[in-house]
Amino acid sequence: MSLLTVRNLNVNFAQRQQPIAALLDINFSIEPGERLAIVGESGAGKSLLGAAITQLLPKPGYIASGSVTLRGKELTQMSAKQWQEVRGQRIAMIFQDPMMTLNPVLSIGAQMVEAIRSHTRIGYKDARKMAIDKLAQVRIASPSQRFEQYPHELSGGMRQRVIIAIVLLLRPELIIADEPTTALDVTIQAEILQLLKEVCESHGVALIFISHDFGVVARISERTLVMYAGKIVEQGATLEIINDPQHPYTQGLLNALPQMALPGQRLNQITGNMPSPNERPSGCAFHPRCRYATERCAQETPNFINTDVSIAACILLEELVSHEEEPDA
Amino acid sequence: MPELIRIKNLSKAFPVRGDWFKPWRSKKQQLKQGVHALNGIDISLQQGETLCIVGETGCGKSTLARVLVGLETPDQGEVWYGGEEISRLNDRQRMKFRKRMQMVFQNPYASLNPRMTVYQILQEAVALHHPELNHEGQDQHIRQQLESVGLDQTAEDRFPHEFSGGQRQRISLARALSVGPELIIADEPLAALDVSVQAQVLNLMMDKQAEHNLTYLFITHDLSVVEHFASRVAVMYLGRICEIADRATLFSAPKHPYTQALLASMPRLDNLDETPIPLQGEVPTVYEDIEGCSFCRRCPHATQRCFEQIPVALNLEDGSQVACHAIEEGRVWK
């Protein structure tokens, strides 16, 4: 059975006249121990999807319809009290800025012990020992000294390690990491990615990794969802998508990377900007920026097509598939 | 190519705030305890080239840019622009250099005045540096500038918050270009932007360079942008330059151990099988006054000498400059 299943999830933002649809018809699932990446530009709704899974949607956002199930148990209908047992213990989150996540006036140790003791009945001494063990596991030097220190005394990379340690304390089944390395330098980023990958493997934790950087995603995830304007446009195995992207948006994203053009040459940019949710184009939301767009794209909403590489929602692919089928018929 | 800027032995330290004994300390003592942002930087900039400065947070790359445009005064060293020393000019003397070099900042949300329309933002710069233009001339000039960065006339009367990040960075660039500079110093101009928008801004910057024969000093931590955009690269680590080389040389044969580690940890799509070179230990804080090579604590090749003596920049055969004891002694990269 899948660990987490999201079915036909729609998230709206309430407004005076008419609610604005921010996430439309999201469908995906994640297996235990799997590492899944969600990629897209800012405004694509990738962070919102993470928030919707954990019911941490910013107001006035709400889940309009659809279901999110964790090992078969419906999450969208749970009360706040029931959620307390899920958040942290079964689904944990890591955010972009570790300084915003850690409490600046409490020592690292106090925050770790608090996390343990608010979920379990473990005494202070044992909790302290557990915390120091975990700090050592995420390769923090002299963990018992760091235990006493405050967040501002640590470097950015170390803070993110502390957060990974806190997250692991309660042995969750799923970690949702929202751009956890964006605020870090390249060398530190490489270390944190390596660490995240290792702890996920050793603890058997599933990971949802939200990022805008295909280079990072390629290093950590097995499967990738590409989002555009609140919808999933393509999903499949990470390396296969990178080698042979099917959806024009995925192609555009990959082609825009500086390494895809010869040095000094113009980059292959995608023209225009991501539309805001209240002015969603008709048909396929990507058609105003797509270089292959036809009239059909402006009118019809594309369905998901199974290609050899991935599952992508594009009218062009639909036409391609139907052309291939015709001669047989 | 003629030389545009030469920086000689530039140092800048910031005294740490909250030192109670500060009034009783000599300037020298104060600085010894301060943050050493720049430590003896020697670098030159040729006309028409794109020099990228790469380094991690806190390595002093932004301070270098700020000293160049005169937002900070250096403690030591000189900045020569053409034939003149410009690091210690007063505001009036600096005016003519301000016209020749302009800066584009990292965060276009903070660098554009939110209470001014785009027209006012550009007009301010134009009025100051092109006093010969009358109102109509200004209008025309501003319209041209906006057009040249791909914004239409309706943009003039709108406020910065009405634009997206990429558009705001275009406005910043239009403002910088409206003065007619020969050098643009860009401090992480792409950091706040998405990949696809990054590509748009980068293309625009390259177009403008070809159009006006601009020189760029481009500060960034993103190596893939550097590989694409730079003609020469300087790698900085904790206030010192470790390596300066042509783009092709640096990326095909990185010499300094720090450059090697940096390149190996770059999240690219074509080096997925390579494992990043693990760096030992943590980045030392800038408050510490390190005696030897600033990279010695994380360097896999460090010896006793590296902890004691500051390495001097060596000129290698392929034209690159490297400051590293291990290379000098032939222990790495012969």
Q: Which tokens in the block code for residue B115?
A: 């209470």
Q: Name which of B269, B281, B285 is nearest A215 (Cβ-Cβ).
A: B269
CB atoms within 10 A of CB B319: 11
What is B101-118 written as a DSSP string?
A: EEEE-S-TTTSS-TTS-H
Check whether B105 has a pLDDT greater than 50. yes
Q: What integer pLDDT is reported at residue B283 of this predicted model?
A: 66
Percent of chain A scoring above 70 in pLDDT: 98
Residues of B in contact with A212 (CB under 8 A): 194-195
Q: DSSP class of residue B219?
A: E
Sign of the CA dihedral running A221, A179, B278, A164: negative
CB atoms A191 and B276 under 8 Å? yes
Is the preceding peptide bond at A60 cis, omega within 30 degrees of 0?
Answer: yes
Band (B282; pLDDT cuts 50, 70, 90):
low
Q: Which tokens in the block code for residue B82?
A: 């053409």
CB-based burial label for B332 (10 Å; 0-12, 13-18, 19+): middle
Residues of B in contact with A42 (CB under 8 A): 194
- Rounded distance between C-alpha atoms, residue A255 and residue A48, angstroms: 26
Mutant choice from B167, B196, B206, B258 vs A, greatest count of A C-beta within 10 A: B196
Q: What integer pLDDT is reported at residue B18 of this predicted model?
A: 59
Check whether A85 has a pLDDT greater than 60. yes
Q: Which residue has the higher pLDDT, A19 or B22?
A: A19
CB atoms within 10 A of CB B140: 12
Sign of the CA dihedral running B92, B131, B166, A261: negative
Q: What integer pLDDT is reported at residue A33 of this predicted model?
A: 92
- Rounded distance between C-alpha atoms, residue A221 and residue A34, angstroms: 8
pLDDT for B257-279, tens place per residue? Answer: 999 888 888 877 776 766 666 67
Tell me the ipTM for this assembly: 0.78
Residues of B in contact with A242 (CB under 8 A): 269
pLDDT for A13-43, tens place per residue? Answer: 998 888 999 999 999 999 999 999 999 888 8
CB atoms A264 and B228 under 8 Å? yes
CB atoms within 10 A of CB A87: 18
Residues of A in contact with B266 (CB under 8 A): 186, 215
Please list, in sequence order, all residues whose beta carbon lies within 8 angstroms of the beta carbon of residue B191, skipping any fewer than 6 positions away: B106, B107, B220, B221, B222
Whole-number mean pLDDT of chain A?
A: 89
Which of B80, B38, B82, B28 is closest to B59 using CA atoms? B38
Sign of the CA dihedral running A246, A249, A250, A254: positive
- Rounded distance between C-alpha atoms, residue B289 and residue B32, angstroms: 8
What are the Cα distances from residue B187, in Å, to A213, B48, B178, B190, B247?
21, 18, 18, 9, 19
Q: Which tokens in the block code for residue B221?
A: 């931590």
What strand order describes the sheet that includes B84-85?
B35-46, B3-14, B76-81, B84-85
Q: Does A254 touch chain B (CB under 8 A)?
A: yes
Chain A closest-CA separation from residue B248 CA (Å): 9
pLDDT for A239-257, tens place per residue? Answer: 999 999 999 999 999 988 8
What is B150-163 written as a DSSP string?
A: T--GGGGGS-GGGS
- Apex CA B166: angle with CA B161 and CA B170, to 5°? 90
Q: Which residue has the higher pLDDT, B249 or A274?
A: B249
Sign of the CA dihedral running B108, B114, B119, B120: negative
- Rounded distance between C-alpha atoms, residue B221 and residue B237, angstroms: 12
CB atoms A155 and B282 under 8 Å? yes
Of A172-176, A246-250, B13-17, B328-332, the range with the lowest mean pLDDT is B13-17
- Rounded distance between C-alpha atoms, residue B30 and residue B108, angstroms: 34
Mutant choice from B194, B282, B295 vs A, greatest count of A C-beta within 10 A: B194
CB-based burial label for B205 (10 Å; 0-12, 13-18, 19+): buried
The answer to whether A248 and A286 are in contact (CB under 8 A) is: yes
- Rounded distance between C-alpha atoms, residue A209 and residue A220, angstroms: 8
- Rounded distance between C-alpha atoms, residue B57 and residue B237, angstroms: 9
CB atoms B203 and A266 under 8 Å? yes
Q: What integer pLDDT is reported at residue B151 of this predicted model?
A: 87
SS3 A80: helix
Mean pLDDT calculated for residue range B100-118: 89
The alpha carbons of chain B give a radius of gyration, in whole angstroms, of 21
Mean pLDDT calculated for residue range B138-149: 91
Check whether B32 has a pLDDT greater than 50. yes
Q: What integer pLDDT is reported at residue B265 of this predicted model?
A: 83
Residue with tokens 């640590």: A154
Band (A329; pLDDT cuts 50, 70, 90):
very low
The answer to whether B293 and B311 are in contact (CB under 8 A) is: yes
Which of A88, B304, B317, A168 is closest to B325 using CA atoms? B304
Q: What integer pLDDT is reported at residue B285 of this predicted model?
A: 65
The answer to whether B201 and B118 are in contact (CB under 8 A) is: no
Check whether A79 has a pLDDT greater than 70. yes
The answer to whether A317 and A246 are in contact (CB under 8 A) is: yes
What are the Cα distances from residue B49, in Å, to B60, B186, B203, B218, B244?
21, 14, 16, 10, 14
CB atoms A253 and B195 under 8 Å? yes
The answer to whether A41 and A84 are in contact (CB under 8 A) is: no
Sign of the CA dihedral running A311, A1, A218, A274: positive
pLDDT for B155-208, tens place per residue? Answer: 899 999 988 888 899 999 999 999 999 999 999 888 878 888 888 889 999 999
pLDDT for A153-196, tens place per residue? Answer: 888 888 999 999 999 998 999 999 999 988 788 888 888 998 99
Mean pLDDT calculated for residue range A285-290: 91
Q: What integer pLDDT is reported at residue B278 of this predicted model?
A: 67
Residue ranges of E strands in chain A? 4-13, 20-30, 35-39, 61-70, 73-74, 91-94, 174-178, 206-211, 223-228, 231-237, 304-306, 310-313
CB atoms B276 and A187 under 8 Å? yes
